Amino acid sequence: MTGADGQDFAGGADRAPQAPTGDHGPAATLWHGRFEGGPDEALMALSVSLPFDRRLAAWDIRGSMAHVRGLARIGLLDQTEEARVLDALARTGTELGDGSFRFEPSDEDIHTAIERRVTELAGDAGAKLHTGRSRNDQVATAFRLWTKESLVELAELVLELQSVLLNRAKAVGEAYLPGYTHLQRAQPVPLAHHLAAHAWALNRDVDRLLEAIARMDVSPLGAGALAGSSLPIDPAGTAMDLGFARAFTNSLDVTSDRDFVAESLFALALLGIHLSRMGEEFVLWSSQEFGFVTLDDAFSTGSSMMPQKKNPDVAELARGKAGRLVGNLTSLLVTLKGLPLAYNRDLQEDKEPLLDSVDQIRLVLLAFRGMVETATFETETMARAADDPMSLATDLAEVLVEQGVPFRQAHSVVGGLVRDSLTRGIDLAELVGGHPAFPDSVAFLFAPGAAVSRRRSPGGAGLVPVGEQLGLLETELDRAGSRIRTVRATLRG
């Protein structure tokens, strides 16, 4: 799988939480100067973020390289030092990539691990890497870069799912099914209209992801711990180097701002909710009770006990994951609430929710696309269900309106016929045919699919408006595609 961190660094063992021993370990952290003893193991166990933030390694190295070039531009590193540190960063990146990187127990997070290694490799020049920089602006920079890239990749996957929906909508032609409100049959609608409805919801998701990227396109590098620096660092220069649209304007804000994480989590939660709702329909439609869809074997699961079972697990997991995505959003919002300016260590809790939401939604999008692409729509069953004359009640009332009958009276006339039909067990078509208020031409409405072909209002569930709508959807997907390509072009890497 090629995630934003497809180049996920495998090096180093995962750290399971360890029981505190009471021992005070060696004072080898990057900040040990001020302390007499080393940190307690219990503190280290609580504080390490390496198990998850090592996924940010490639983006941290990119940020560090831009920082080094910036320091060289203002003369704080000479050319030899710049080259040495850039080489050491590149080599550290390679080691992290091929698994040969050796983590030390004192490495608190990926950022300190990288700086430690660079200093080992580049000596005194390496020790200049952190000049005018804090982990606070460093972490925020790496995480923004990672997030931008992850969201673009997810927007692409959403677009692919939309294309599948559009292609299936085009291919099903004039097929129709009952449209539902309150999960009660309401009016017949073209299947293409129904499929396109989900594609339009996803369209807003793509838009939200791209808008979130645009808003987070601010470089925090140069904000330092909270106050910038007395050294002549140039945030605009490093922002441009990293492909950010602009640099921060307030160091306190940018080092503590996690709006970009919250917005990403919201965009992913809502996307997850859309997939969950669509998933719920596939669960219903694939049941024997509906029988509207047959899922391909490759996207169905069996039962360990009941040999006959074929289950829509992809759709169910899409539904299930939505809870987790909402949980991740909630978790971050609660973390942020009540934090005073500027950086607080609580903010380290921003990573796992977003890493998880990105991973989970990627899994869902890929499987969901396959499920929709390969599903068989049982259009005869759909049509049979939609041809229930009762579903024509609204269209019948509208026939009376065309005859000059006020709608409220028309509603009442048809309501009376429906009641008659139900209580006397007479077909609605027969009752309508014998009613003097209806023109003879009303019989046409009872032909299969007639209601759908008659409906014309813009955006409505008629064949003509749906044809127009699919054209608009296609244009919209092209537009989103080029927006995504534009954003992609700004990413370095």
**Listed residue (145, 162, 239) closest to 207, CA to CA:** 162
User: Is residue 297 a contact partner of residue 312, using CB atoms and an 8 Å limit?
Assistant: no
135 binds ligand ARG (CB under 6 A): yes
Least separation in angstroms between residue 55's CB and ligand ARG is: 12
C-alpha–C-alpha distance, residues 179 and 194, integer Å: 8
Query: Which is the catalytic residue, given 100, 286, 303, 411?
Result: 303
DSSP string computed for 298-339: GG-B--SS-TT--B-HHHHHHHHHHHHHHHHHHHHHHHHTTP
Least separation in angstroms between residue 110's CB and ligand ARG is: 8
133 binds ligand ARG (CB under 6 A): no
Structure tokens at 314: 């992809």
The residue among 41 and 280 lying less far from ligand ARG, judged by its C-beta, is 41
DSSP string computed for 400-411: HHHTT--HHHHH
The residue among 136 and 335 lying less far from ligand ARG, judged by its C-beta, is 136
Per CB under 6 A, which region of 60-68, 135-143, 193-201, 472-480 contacts ligand ARG?
A: 135-143
User: Is residue 27 a contact partner of residue 177, using CB atoms and an 8 Å limit?
Assistant: no
Number of other CB atoms surrounding residue 147 within 10 Å? 24
Spell out the alpha helix ranges (H) of 375-406. Answer: 379-386, 393-402
Bridge-based pairing of strands 218-219 and 246-247 is parallel
The residue among 135 and 321 lying less far from ligand ARG, judged by its C-beta, is 135
**Listed residue (191, 162, 163) closest to 175, CA to CA:** 191
Least separation in angstroms between residue 49's CB and ligand ARG is: 4
C-alpha–C-alpha distance, residues 109 and 51, integer Å: 8
Query: Which is the catalytic residue, given 47, 106, 130, 182?
Result: 182
Interaction with ligand ARG in 329-348: which residues (CB under 6 A)? Answer: 343, 345, 347-348
Helix or strand run (H / E) with residue 35: none
134: which DSSP letter?
A: -
Interaction with ligand ARG in 272-301: which residues (CB under 6 A)? Answer: none
For the chain, give the number of residues. Answer: 493
Least separation in angstroms between residue 96's CB and ligand ARG is: 16
165 binds ligand ARG (CB under 6 A): no
Alpha-carbon separation of residue 38 from 18, 233, 261, 320, 488 (angstroms) = 17, 32, 33, 44, 44
Least separation in angstroms between residue 338's CB and ligand ARG is: 17
The residue among 162 and 328 lying less far from ligand ARG, judged by its C-beta, is 328
Q: Which listed residue (29, 106, 136, 469) binds ligand ARG by CB under 6 A?
A: 136
Give me the residues paired with residue 245 across strands: none
Least separation in angstroms between residue 63's CB and ligand ARG is: 13
Per CB under 6 A, which region of 131-139, 161-169, 251-259, 444-452 contacts ligand ARG?
A: 131-139
Only one residue has tokens 């360890």, namely: 18
Per CB under 6 A, which region of 134-142, 162-170, 172-180, 396-404 contacts ligand ARG?
A: 134-142
113 binds ligand ARG (CB under 6 A): no
Residue-wise burial string across 78-113, b where 16 or more C-beta atoms lie within 10 A, e elsewhere: eeebbebbbebbeebbebbbeeebebeebbbbbbbb
Structure tokens at 278: 């669509």
SS3 190: strand
DSSP string computed for 204-231: HHHHHHHHHHHHT-EE-TT-TTTT--SS
The residue among 18 and 409 lying less far from ligand ARG, judged by its C-beta, is 18
C-alpha–C-alpha distance, residues 341 and 252, integer Å: 7
139 binds ligand ARG (CB under 6 A): yes
C-alpha–C-alpha distance, residues 346 and 259, integer Å: 14
Interface with ligand ARG: number of residues (CB under 6 A): 10
Least separation in angstroms between residue 67's CB and ligand ARG is: 16
C-alpha–C-alpha distance, residues 404 and 255, integer Å: 67
The residue among 144 and 369 lying less far from ligand ARG, judged by its C-beta, is 144
The residue among 104 and 156 lying less far from ligand ARG, judged by its C-beta, is 104
Q: Which amino acid is residue 425, in one-letter code?
A: G
The residue among 238 and 348 lying less far from ligand ARG, judged by its C-beta, is 348
Q: Is 219 a catalytic residue?
A: no
The residue among 135 and 193 lying less far from ligand ARG, judged by its C-beta, is 135
Per CB under 6 A, which region of 132-140, 396-404, 405-413, 423-431 contacts ligand ARG?
A: 132-140
Interaction with ligand ARG in 27-56: which residues (CB under 6 A)? Answer: 49, 53
Q: Is 274 a catalytic residue?
A: no
Least separation in angstroms between residue 136's CB and ligand ARG is: 5
Least separation in angstroms between residue 353's CB and ligand ARG is: 13
Q: Which listed residue (5, 81, 82, 109) binds ligand ARG by CB under 6 A?
A: 109
Catalytic residue annotation = 182, 303
- The site for ligand ARG (CB under 6 A) is made up of 49, 53, 109, 135-136, 139, 343, 345, 347-348
